[in-house]
């Protein structure tokens, strides 16, 4: 199962002229600002609203290709912080010196020593999405499976009081996943950035302050 960000390609239609123009605008803006995908604006909205990142943070980005979130997280954490990314796809852009990327399938990394590098990190991000089939129930379940893996990773590496951001497709498993997140974090919000496509089923779980046992 491919876990990846699904950026909007230039010229892709959303079903309406206005939607297409808006998507093209965001794509052009991202390119002009030296980001590889329009997904940058989703994370930027999340940061501006919820203040997830702080200077000096260690951040883990799951499903990090093509790299927009890596770049933004690097800017937010600054030269004293570190950003680590994992994706089954290669990240082909030039990255700052405080960013490290591993090309690997998260579903096959149960015992990978890579996680020792991020143990005690302050933020875990997941913009992972399955390769879609067109069947909403199947796609939503596959998204849930990736989200479950992301949450297990946060359980493993995230420091107490740390934050977890996760994209999920809305479906039958959404309430179950939200409940699991609420059990682990003091604050749990549901947020759909304005830069998401209006017809998209994707939504973000914003979980802050990991509970300590």
Where are the domains positioned within the chain? 17-210
Fold of 17-210: Rossmann fold (3.40.50)
- Alpha-carbon distance of 154 to 177, in angstroms, equals 14
Count other C-beta atoms under 10 Å from residue 185's C-beta: 23
Residues in the chain: 213
- Using the structure block, give the residue that is written with the tokens 């609420």: 182
Task: Determine the pLDDT at residue 22.
Answer: 52
What's the pLDDT score for residue 9?
29
How many angstroms separate the CA atoms of 162 and 207, rounded?
A: 9
User: What is the model's pLDDT at position 153?
Assistant: 95
Q: Exposure pattern of 118-135 as b/e (b: 16+ CB <10 Å)?
A: beebbbbbbbbbbeeeee
- Answer yes or no: 167 catalytic: yes
Q: What is the pLDDT of residue 8?
A: 26
Partners of 29 in beta bridges: none
Token pair recorded at residue 90? 């290669």
As a whole number of angstroms, the distance between CA 70 and CA 150 comes to 17
The Cα-based distances of 46 to 2, 35, 40, 144, 195 in angstroms read 25, 17, 10, 21, 11
Residue 58: φ, ψ to 5°: -105, 125
- Quote the pLDDT of residue 167: 97
Task: Choose, from 5, 167, 208, 210, the residue flagged as catalytic.
Answer: 167
Three-state SS at 12: coil
Give the pair of three-digit tokens for residue 93.
Answer: 């852009």
Phi-psi region of 134 (alpha: psi -120 to 50; beta: other; left: phi over 0): left
Cis peptide before 16 (omega within 30 of 0): no
User: pLDDT tens string for the chain (213 positions)?
Assistant: 344 443 322 223 333 344 455 557 888 888 888 888 989 999 999 999 999 999 999 999 999 999 999 999 999 999 999 999 999 999 999 999 999 999 999 888 877 899 999 999 999 999 999 998 989 999 999 999 999 999 999 999 999 999 999 999 999 999 999 999 999 999 999 999 988 877 778 999 999 999 987
């Amino acid at each position: 199962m491919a876990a990846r960000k699904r950026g909007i390609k230039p010229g892709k239609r959303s079903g309406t002229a206005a939607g297409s123009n808006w998507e093209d605008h965001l794509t052009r803006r991202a390119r002009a600002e030296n980001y590889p995908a329009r997904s940058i604006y989703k994370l930027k909205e999340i940061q501006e609203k919820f203040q997830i990142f702080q200077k000096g943070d260690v951040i883990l980005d799951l499903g990090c290709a093509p790299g927009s979130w890596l770049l933004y997280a690097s800017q937010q954490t600054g030269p004293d912080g570190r950003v680590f990314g994992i994706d089954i796809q290669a990240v082909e852009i030039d990255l700052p010196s405080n960013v490290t990327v591993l090309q690997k399938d998260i579903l096959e990394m149960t015992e990978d020593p890579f996680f020792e590098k991020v143990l005690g990190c302050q933020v875990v991000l997941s913009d992972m999405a399955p390769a879609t089939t067109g069947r909403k129930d199947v796609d939503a379940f596959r998204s849930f499976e990736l989200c479950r893996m992301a949450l297990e990773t946060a359980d493993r590496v995230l420091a107490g009081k740390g934050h977890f951001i996760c994209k999920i497709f809305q479906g039958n498993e959404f309430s179950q996943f939200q409940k699991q997140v609420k059990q682990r974090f003091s604050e749990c919000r549901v947020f759909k950035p304005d830069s998401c496509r209006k017809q998209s089923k994707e939504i973000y779980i914003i979980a802050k302050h990991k509970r300590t046992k």
